[in-house]
Amino acid sequence: MSERFDLIVLGAGSGGLSVAQRGAKLGARVAMFDADALGGTCVNRGCVPKKAMWYAAQMADMHRLAIDIGFETTPMQLDWARFRDLRNRYIAGIRERYAIRLDTAGIRVITDAARLISADTVVTAQGMQVSAPHIVIATGARPRRLDIPGFELGMLSDDVFTLDACPRHIAIVGGGYVAVEFACMLHGLGCSVDLLVREHVLAGFDRELVDALVSQMQTRGIRIVRDTWIKAAHGNPGAITLETIGGIEHGVYDAVLWAVGRVPNSGGIGLERLGVACDQEGRVRVDAFQNTNVPGIYAIGDVTDRRALTPVAVAAGRALATRLVGGHADAKFDDSAIPSVVFADPPLGTVGLTEDQARARHGDAVSVYSGRYTPLLMMVAGHSEQSVVKLVCVGDERKVVGIHVLGPGSDELLQGFAIALQKGLYWRDLKEAIAIHPTAAEELLLLH
Ligand SMILES: Cc1cc2nc3c(=O)[nH]c(=O)nc-3n(C[C@H](O)[C@H](O)[C@H](O)COP(=O)(O)OP(=O)(O)OC[C@H]3O[C@@H](n4cnc5c(N)ncnc54)[C@H](O)[C@@H]3O)c2cc1C
Ligand SMILES: NC(=O)c1ccc[n+]([C@@H]2O[C@H](COP(=O)([O-])OP(=O)(O)OC[C@H]3O[C@@H](n4cnc5c(N)ncnc54)[C@H](O)[C@@H]3O)[C@@H](O)[C@H]2O)c1
């Protein structure tokens, strides 16, 4: 006999928590399954520990800058183990607060993985069986592993957060968000970094800003090697070399980080048997309402073919619960302008279309305003690295369709501009606005 609920959620990460909590708030009886820690990737091995590490790296940078502007001090070493423990304590606190909130909301949390045995029933490894008219797949994704000799000598992004000490010399394989962020953070914390990129650095981002970021990373001392296809890793843990298909050897490294993308957790949970459609990468196909092709089964977050970002998973979960439980048949989230920041050094923020995307879509109707400046503090310190701001506009009225920012402060300044872009922003609005001076944000108002 199955116990019956109104809503079953597989996965207690960003997406799963949001759909479960909104569903319960709207009156549904909710069962949520996860064998792992509450909070999923973002809280335990993604955004949260990453951002803490990014802050530490920024502090190390500011410390070096402090010397340049006249502070009498010598660069400090980070007590890596102490910092890791503080970070873990903070994360444990988040998990505790989730547990209390879920309990208060009356959500039944089952600490076990589950799989579907029909369109309305799931079963756990322990044999527990529950049913509901709505089942949400929110099982996320995991780091991709390559089928090459010696792969096990390297680590995955999850492993970086468990290290006892900062590596001395690391090779990071990949060119996406994770590769670039870890390259900058580890370098900031004193590690010598080789970034080995197969194709592009940050594909899909505005090229002008990516080129500027790459050049700043190189100036700081990160070695970036493109067109590098790794075919094997050799050696022992702590002394690893990497071999490319062209026979070139890189290393010796004391650590290797494989940052070659993520694969969805869609296998082995009964989706194939029920005919739930996935793309070639195994990501569950969903429509704008998070419906899969099988009625009663929905998917949200990184397991789907949508953008793999926490706020996207959260927005999808809330909208889905509002529709299924709240009775708002047309509830969906607006994904037309999703802002995102790569926590590099300096951070790179983006919302809307890149220049290339806008030109491909709108041709000659595109106008671009871009500018470079050296931030005030850098000027005082005698540094010359330049921040970049860029607006991509369309039509005679110059509607803003893309905003791209690189430089200190980009991470915090983008949110407000992103809301404006989503609601409808024109170049003249920026011209008419009163700036806050002196800030990085005002540079977007000064473009002409
Ligand atoms: C290093 C790193 C840094 C990141 N930084 C950022 C950032 O700064 N900003 C940002 O927006 N995004 C960031 N992301 C992406 C973000 O973490 C994800 O988009 C987000 O966590 C996706 O949430 P989710 O709920 O879809 O999946 P997850 O958070 O991965 O949760 C899925 C959960 O499902 C569980 N599960 C799996 N199989 C089953 C099963 N059969 N039954 C029950 N449960 C199951 C898993 O244990 C997991 O807890 C980062 C990711 C990484 C790896
Ligand atoms: N700041 C943030 O918001 C943030 C941070 C981290 C991750 N994320 C999210 O998580 C997602 C996953 O990030 P990611 O960096 O793991 O993936 P990604 O898709 O961004 O990048 C994967 C990289 O690996 C490379 N690659 C793939 N196969 C390879 C191979 N066999 N050999 C060498 N290189 C290979 C790709 O060319 C690409 O450069 C991101 O797309 C993003 O949505 C967001």
* CA quadruple 311, 315, 321, 327: dihedral, nearest 10: 170
Peptide bond into 346 cis (omega under 30): yes
371-422 pLDDT per residue, tens: 999 999 999 999 999 999 999 999 999 999 999 999 999 999 999 999 999 9
Concatenated DSSP letters for 362-403?
A: HGGGEEEEEEEE--HHHHHHT----EEEEEEEETTTTEEEEE
Contact 355, 392 (CB under 8 A): yes
The full set of domains in the chain, from first to last, is 3-143+263-324 (3.50.50.60), 151-260 (3.50.50.60), 346-445 (3.30.390.30)
Q: How confident is the model at residue 366 (pLDDT cuts 50, 70, 90)?
A: very high
245-270 pLDDT per residue, tens: 999 999 999 999 999 999 999 999 99
Q: Is 5 in the pocket of ligand 1 (CB under 6 A)?
A: no
Contact 202, 176 (CB under 8 A): yes
Contact 300, 326 (CB under 8 A): no
Q: Where are the alpha helices (DSSP H) in 146-305?
A: 157-160, 177-188, 207-220, 271-274
Ligand 1 centroid, distance to 98 Cα (angstroms): 15
Q: Is 302 in the pocket of ligand 2 (CB under 6 A)?
A: no
Contact 60, 77 (CB under 8 A): no
- Closest atom of ligand 1 to CA, residue 340: 11
Strand, helix or coil at 408? coil
Contact 68, 45 (CB under 8 A): no
Model pTM score: 0.97
Q: Is 265 in the pocket of ligand 1 (CB under 6 A)?
A: yes
Largest CA distance in the chain: 73
- Tell me which of 383, 404, 437, 448 is the catalytic residue: 437
Contact 251, 241 (CB under 8 A): yes
Distance of CA 79 to the CA centre of its chain: 26
Strand, helix or coil at 172? strand
Q: State the chain's mean pLDDT as an integer.
A: 97
Q: What is the pLDDT of residue 321?
A: 98
Tokens 């039944």 correspond to: 108
CA distance 93 to 104: 17
Q: How far is CA 179 from CA 56, 184, 257, 353, 417, in A?
A: 18, 9, 8, 23, 27
CA distance 67 to 334: 46
Q: If you average pLDDT over residues 280-284, what whole number do you get? A: 98
Strand, helix or coil at 175? coil
Ligand 1 centroid, distance to 63 Cα (angstroms): 33
* Annotation says 437 is catalytic: yes
151-169 pLDDT per residue, tens: 999 999 999 999 999 999 9
Please name the residue whose Cα sits nearest to atom 7 of ligand 1: 47
CA distance 434 to 185: 35
CA distance 180 to 342: 8
Substitution candidate for ligand 2 out of 42, 198, 342 with most atoms within 8 A of CB: 198
Substitution candidate for ligand 2 out of 159, 177, 214 with most atoms within 8 A of CB: 177
Please name the residue whose Cα sits nearest to atom 6 of ligand 1: 47
User: Among candidates 34, 35, 30, 36, which has minimal Cα distance to 3?
Assistant: 30
5-27 pLDDT per residue, tens: 999 999 999 999 999 999 999 99
Q: What is the pLDDT of residue 75?
A: 67
109-138 pLDDT per residue, tens: 999 999 999 999 999 989 999 999 999 999
Residues in the chain: 448
Q: What are phi and psi of 60, to 5 degrees?
A: -60, -40
CA distance 151 to 174: 14
Concatenated DSSP letters for 327-338?
A: --TT-----SS-
| Radius of gyration (C-alpha) of the chain in whole angstroms | 23
Please name the residue whose Cα sits nearest to atom 24 of ligand 2: 260
DSSP structure class, residue 364: G
Contact 113, 124 (CB under 8 A): yes
Q: How confident is the model at residue 2 (pLDDT cuts 50, 70, 90)?
A: confident
Which amino acid is it at 229?
W
Angle at 88 between CA 167 and CA 177, to 5 degrees: 55
Q: Is 257 in the pocket of ligand 1 (CB under 6 A)?
A: no
Q: Is 148 in the pocket of ligand 2 (CB under 6 A)?
A: no
Q: How far is CA 230 from CA 95, 116, 258, in A?
A: 38, 38, 10
Q: Is 47 in the pocket of ligand 1 (CB under 6 A)?
A: yes
CA distance 225 to 425: 39
Half-sphere exposure of 431 (CA within 13 A, CB side): 9
Please name the residue whose Cα sits nearest to atom 1 of ligand 2: 342
CA distance 25 to 304: 25
46-91 pLDDT per residue, tens: 999 999 999 999 999 999 999 999 998 776 789 999 999 999 999 9
Q: If you average pLDDT over residues 349-373, what whole number do you get? A: 98
Ligand 2 centroid, distance to 225 Cα (angstroms): 17
Instruction: Decide which of 205 and 74 is more confident.
Output: 205
DSSP structure class, residue 77: P
Distance of CA 182 to the CA centre of its chain: 12
Q: Where are the alpha helices (DSSP H) in 254-390?
A: 271-274, 310-324, 355-362, 376-381
